[in-house]
Structures are given as C-alpha cells and as structure tokens.
Amino acid sequence: MQLMLLFQLSEYIPINHYKTISMQKNFFPTLVTVCIIAHMVRTAYEVLKHKKVITASRLSFIIVFTDMLLLWASWFALNPLDPSRTDLPCIIRYFGIFFILAGVVVFFISLFTIKTLENHKGDLITHGIYSRVRHPMYLGFIFWLLGMSLFHGGIISLVLCIVFIANVLFWRYLEEKELEERFPEYKNYKTKTLF
C-alpha cells in the first residue's frame, strides 16, 4: 500500500526535484566546510591581533569583512539544507525568528553607533546601545546563529551553533583584554554594562 502511494506521488513530483534534493545533500557539507574555515580565519585574525603580530589596517578590514560575508552567507545557506532536520515545536521556531530579527536590529544599531567595523582608534564608545551592552555586534551574531538553527531545526546546525557561539565568545574575550589595555576606564565601564 505504501509503495503504491509512493509511486502515485512520484508521478506528480518532477524529476528535477530529485536532482535538487541530491544537490542539496552534496552542497551542505561544502557550506559547513566554508563556514568552519571562515570561523577559523576570523579566530586566527583575532588571536594574531591580540598577540600584536598584526595590526588593524585597511587590508585587514577587507580580509575580515570578506571573511565575515562568507561566514554569514554560508551559515544562512546551510541551515535550510541541514539533512538532519527535526520537527521542533512552533513556539521554538518562532523564538528562532525573534532571535534572527533581534540580531539584525542589534547589529545594525551598533554599527550605526560606531560607524566603523574595524580599526577604531578613537575613544571608548559608551553611548547609544554601547551604554547598555559592551559587545552588541557579537550579541547580534549570537542571536543570528541561535535563531537560524532554531528556526530550521537541523541537528547538525544546532551542534555547529554551540561551537560557533563558543567561538564568538572567544573573540569577545580577546577584545575585552585589548580594551582593558587601551582604556583605563574600561573596567569601570564593564561593571555598568552587560555582555
């Protein structure tokens, strides 16, 4: 009976659909690899910057910006293709949408507040969203990671999400150390803000 139903349904599914599914299964590992490599490149940059092996410059900005574009493009593309998807309750998927939107809002508010992504040599920014949150861009990244994996419900994506959040928290840790060295008032600022 089930086999007969499958044959009946297959008459209505175009042949190209099977090719699309096959391409998705083959493309998912590629996207995961690109995303992992992009995370590794960004982490290497942060470590080298922390150890003062390299300094922030126009070239490093271009490299980091390109790396982050690859990272986010691969992350947003791989989640819907995760072959290990599970049916999460609707409320969790709605939380995923909320986290994605919150991440976008937090990221862009912080970007418009500082008006730069890298190579900021000025004073410690403590106004706007930075009066409440020390690292709103990283918080936005974490929201994006969590939101996409919750919305799409892929088990592999959820595992990667945990690893990538730990990675973002490591970037934050290194940046905290750098800011403590550059700005004597940073320790006091930390006591008045979150994250």
* Average pLDDT for 124-149: 96
Residue 10: what pLDDT?
A: 39
Whether the CB-CB separation of 54 and 45 falls below 8 Å is answered with yes
Residue 1: what pLDDT?
A: 47
Whether the CB-CB separation of 82 and 31 falls below 8 Å is answered with no
**pLDDT band per the 50, 70, 90 thresholds, residue 164:** very high
The tokens describing 37, both together, are 């490599």
pLDDT greater than 60 at residue 13: no
Other Cβ atoms less than 10 A from the Cβ of 8: the count is 9
pLDDT tens track for 14-46: 445 445 555 666 899 999 999 999 999 999 999
The tokens describing 28, both together, are 């998912």
| Ramachandran bin of 119, using left for φ above 0, alpha for ψ from -120 to 50, beta for the remaining angles | left
pLDDT tens track for 82-109: 999 999 999 999 999 999 999 999 999 9
Closest alpha carbon to 59 in 45, 71, 69, 70: 45
- Domains, the chain, in order of start with CATH, read 2-192 (1.20.120)
78 burial (CB, 10 Å; 0-12 / 13-18 / 19+) is buried
Average pLDDT, the chain: 88
CA gap 131, 125 in Å, rounded: 8
pLDDT greater than 80 at residue 58: yes
Of 18-22, 144-148, 154-158, 182-186, the range with the lowest mean pLDDT is: 18-22
pLDDT greater than 80 at residue 150: yes
